[in-house]
Amino acid sequence: MTPYLLKRSRRRTVSLEITREGTVLVRAPLRLSQEKIESFVAAHEKWIDEHLARQQQRRRPEPTEAEIAALREQAKALLPGRVAYWSEKMGVRPTGLKITAARTRFGSCSGKNSLCFSLFLLRYPPPAVDYVVVHELAHIRHKNHGREFYAFIASVMPDYKERIRLLKG
């Protein structure tokens, strides 16, 4: 059986999670027997194996300080131009632009319309980078991920779904 970390709480159901570090985390109710927990894990062995393998394929080696500095310079050189190009096409104006070393998200748009992009976005192909820029710029007009938000993106970037796939590969 796959080794796992068990966290008990006052919840009613059992759940499985694969953490970013590749640990299998089982969340279970306080009084659920160890037998039932192990049976649950065993029943989901295939799912666990598939997700651990998929995560292993996507895992990249930790970048060196030099690689981070190079990505930051690339981001500073490329992203302001891409933001200017797409903001003109979309008819929106961001109030600021910041480059960060965020690892869990490619970009964000603040409530005051200031954009933030992770320098790690530059590890992806240019069409994927442009999609993230368009996505964040679209938040200036639509602060959620509703139907109008994606319709706005599709109006300037009809192939946006293919570009999203580039970010997941």
Distance CA 9, CA 25 (A): 13
The more confident residue out of 168 and 132 is 132
Alpha carbons within 13 A on the beta-carbon side of 86: 26
Summarize pLDDT for 3-16 with one digit per residue, the tens: 999 999 999 999 99
Distance CA 111, CA 48 (A): 38
Q: Which fold has domain 65-168?
A: Zincin-like (3.30.2010)
Domain ranges of the chain: 5-58, 65-168
Summarize pLDDT for 70-120 with one digit per residue, the tens: 999 999 999 999 999 999 999 999 999 999 999 889 999 999 999 999 999
